[in-house]
Every structure is written in C-alpha cells, then in structure tokens.
Amino acid sequence: MDAAQIQVWLTFAAFTLIAIGVGGAGLIVVRNSVTGARRRARLAGDLAVASPGPGAGIAAFAGVISGVRLLGGRMAIQDPSQVSAIRARLIQAGYFNREAVTLYLGARAVALAVAIVGTVLLLPWALSGGGGMAALALAAALSVAALLGPDQVIKAKRSKLELEYREGFPDLLDLLVASVEAGLSLDAAVSRVTDELVRRYPHLAEHLKVLTLELRAGRSRKDCWSNFAERLGIDEARSMATMLRQAEEMGTSLGETLAVFADDMRSKRMLRAEEKAMALPAKLMIPLILFIFPCLLGVLILPAAFRISQSMVGAHH
C-alpha cells in the first residue's frame, strides 16, 4: 500500500469519525427531547403519547422541534450579539414568535450537520471513481444549501411581505386620512384601520396591531411609529414616521399632513406601475430573440427552402 492510498484511507477514516460524532450528538439531543416531551405529557395527564399510534409521531415531531430549539438556544447564548439583528430580520419576515430566533439558529445548525453527514457519505462514492464530478457537485450543492438556504428562505419571505406592505401602504394612508377627517384621533384611527385591512393585507394588519398595543401601553407616539417603520423595513413607513414626528413637534394639522402624504404615496405607486410597464419591452427582448424569432425565421424560410430544393431536384431530373 503506497502513501497515496494511506492518505485516502486516513481521510476517509477522519470523515467517518466526524460523521459518527455529529450523528451521535444529534441522536442524543433528539432522544433527550423526546424523553422530556413524554415526561411533560405524562405529568399533564396525557397517557396517549406513551401508546403507539398517531400520538407517538406527534410526540416525536415535538421532540425534534424541542431539540432544534435547545440547540438554537445554546448557539444564541454563545453569540448574543447577533440575536437582536436576527430577531429584527425575522420580524420583518413575519415571524413574531419569541422562540423564532432559537428555532432559526437551531435549523441552521441542523442544516450544517446534515450537509456534513451528506458530504461524508458521498466521500466513498467520490473516492471510488464511480461518482467523480457528480459526487463533488452534489456535495457542493449540499454545502451551499446548508450555508445559504435558511438565509434565502428568510430573504424570500421578507421580499414577499415588503411587496404586500408597499401595495397596502397607500390604502392605509387613505383610510387614516378618512378616519382623522371624520373626527377620530390618530390612535383611534389606527385601531379602526386595522380592522379594515385585516382581510386584504393581513401581515400589515399584524404590524398595526402591535403598534396599537404599544400605544395603549403608554409609549410615546414617536417611538411607536419609529418601531413600526423598523418592523416593516420599507422607506414609505420610515418617511411616515418622520412626517408624524415633525408634525407633532411643529404643531401642524395632522389631517392635512396625512392628506398630502397620501397623495404623494399614490403618485409613487403610479410611478412604480409606469416604471414596470416601461421596462416590459426590454424584459421581453431576450425571450423574443431566443424563442420567438427562431420560430418565425423557420416559418418564413423553410417553405422557400423546400420549394428551392424541389425545383433543383426537378431540374436535375
């Protein structure tokens, strides 16, 4: 056995030991979580969890979630500086649960562990020569999915909600203007508008409910609207928070200020729609060149080419 083969076997043994360690730690965490869930269920008087059936599967799933939560909690303790930033991102993505940060960190750790185990399992296939580039590509895909997957999911959810916020913000302002001009205070108008928007824009209504609770708790209006803007994460909300703060400091009419701001938001929404309409021909250029133009060229040229070939064949005969 030469030095190259010895190095390959040592590498394989090292990855195998890493896989065994990660898998053993995962099994211990899952087992402890399942045991804890069963004990809590027994103390609560739920004896159906101990019996086989659908309840056992639910208990196992709850145990896995508890394990992920426990792992995320330990990661949050090790790096507390990132907890606030992650919580702000999750709130912007629509996750208001207190345990969202720990679940997110735990899910990211589990994804990394799964990627490591998958890479180790693919190693013999790659070293044997049968997998080759396919095994390396699959291992790279697992690594990229583990590293970027959770962040991309949060980013996609956040982008989707930001689109809903931007679409619903002009309607929110129109309803606020109508409520304030009808004689309601701004706080009462927010509560009334929340009930109206809950069907059309449910996520925006959730943020308005949080805003209403903060106002009822006694926080200053300036701080409540600033927190509302940070939770939404869009420029329109930040502009509105700044406008309300300036109107409160300068003593201007709130109804007139909201009316002017609502007109500006409607103009911006119209400009965004016109921008998308003007960008449509440029976006259609590539599909036209790649798909429609070759088909059109074939339809126009193939009949003439066929007639020319038939004429040449007839002249030859």
Closest C-alpha among 202, 12, 171 to residue 96: 202
Phi and psi at 226, nearest 5°, equal: -65, -40
Residue 187 CA, chain-centre distance (Å), reads: 31
Residue 33: what pLDDT? 57
Q: Which amino acid is at 166?
A: R
Residue 317: what pLDDT? 60
Q: Which two tokens stand for residue 165?
A: 């916020």
SS3 track for 17-37: HHHHHHHHHHHHHHHHHHHHH
Closest C-alpha among 71, 59, 57 to residue 34: 59
Tens-of-pLDDT digits for all 317 residues of the chain? 555 555 555 566 556 656 565 555 555 555 555 555 555 555 554 433 333 444 444 544 455 556 555 555 555 555 666 777 778 888 888 887 777 777 777 777 777 777 777 777 777 666 666 556 776 777 778 778 877 888 888 888 888 888 888 888 888 888 888 888 888 888 888 888 888 888 888 888 888 998 999 888 888 888 888 888 888 888 888 888 888 888 888 877 777 888 888 888 888 878 888 888 888 888 888 888 888 888 888 888 888 888 888 888 776 66
Residue 50: what pLDDT? 39
The alpha carbon dihedral of 43, 47, 49, 54 has a sign of negative
Rounded distance, CA 194 to CA 251, Å?
A: 26
